[in-house]
Amino acid sequence: MCGRYVSVSSPTILAERFHVEEVRTGPTEANYNVTPRAEVPAVADSRGHRVLDLVRWGLVPSWAKSLAVGDRMINARAETVMTNNAYKRPFERRRCIVPADGFYEWQRIEGRKVRQPWFIRRRDGEPIAFAGLWSIWHDPAVGDDAPRIRSCAIITTEPNELLREIHNRMPVILSESVWDTWLDAENHDVQSLAQLLVPSPADELERWPITTRVNKPDQNGPELLERAPVDSL
């Protein structure tokens, strides 16, 4: 799964990187420990042009009775996005890119109670394009006057060679060559879209071990990315 990640690139940088035509958010603070429920940047199609906006991490289906449903839906499995009731309609009509500057995974090590955290990013340092889904929800208890809340989930798949010994899942990372296809809201060919949900080439990523400071959601800063010996726990 992908349960924590890094988002430090400014909206200006993200707009340039992802060829965004409209930025709907102001300046954002660097976040080295993005957690579920956070407001995160997302890139999506809006009536034929590409926009960047903030959405809540943890997809809340339109039919949900409570916002809390999103707490269980931060990740969508690539194998079931076409059949899962929460994800199949967003997969057909509401796909997005969730930019990240890297992400964390935790490795179980025999003989230790505490898992070893790792940081993973692109080798070239460019923002990553996570494959995402988004939805719009309003509180049915309030009615039509309730504010519309946009939320998202990150799609995960089997790990590549770099991640396999660390975790049994990894986020789907989209190459630039398929961004147009993925974001095209008029593209409803779910069979072809599903073929994009594969592990990224291992040689495009790099990883290093970090300390367990990242385990605490209230820890946030560039020091979380400092390299640490695997045997330092």
What residue segments make up the domains of the chain, in order of their start?
A: 5-144+154-197
Asked if residues 160 and 200 have their Cβ atoms less than 8 Å apart, the reply is yes
User: Is 39 annotated in the active site?
Assistant: no
Show Cβ contacts of residue 89 under 8 Å, excluding neighbours closer than 6 positions: none
Q: Which residue do the tokens 């049994």 mark? A: 168
- State the catalytic residue, choosing from 2, 96, 110, 176: 2
Give tens-digit pLDDT for 22-35: 999 999 999 999 99
Q: What DSSP state is assigned to residue 201?
A: P
Give tens-digit pLDDT for 120-130: 999 999 999 99
Supply the pLDDT for residue 141. 84
d(Cα 81, Cα 195) in Å, to the nearest integer? 12
pTM for this entry: 0.96
Bridge partners (DSSP) listed for residue 40:
55
- State the catalytic residue, choosing from 105, 152, 204, 226: 105
Show Cβ contacts of residue 36 under 8 Å, excluding neighbours closer than 6 positions: 3, 57, 58, 70, 71, 74
User: Is 105 annotated in the active site?
Assistant: yes
Band the pLDDT of 54: cuts 50, 70, 90. Answer: very high
Sign, CA dihedral 46-50-53-57, equals: positive
Q: What percent of the chain has pLDDT over 90?
A: 90
d(Cα 151, Cα 191) in Å, to the nearest integer? 24
Structure tokens at 88: 């199949």
Q: Backbone dihedral region of 4: left (phi > 0), alpha (psi from -120 to 50 degrees) or beta?
A: beta
The CATH class given to the 5-144+154-197 domain equals alpha beta
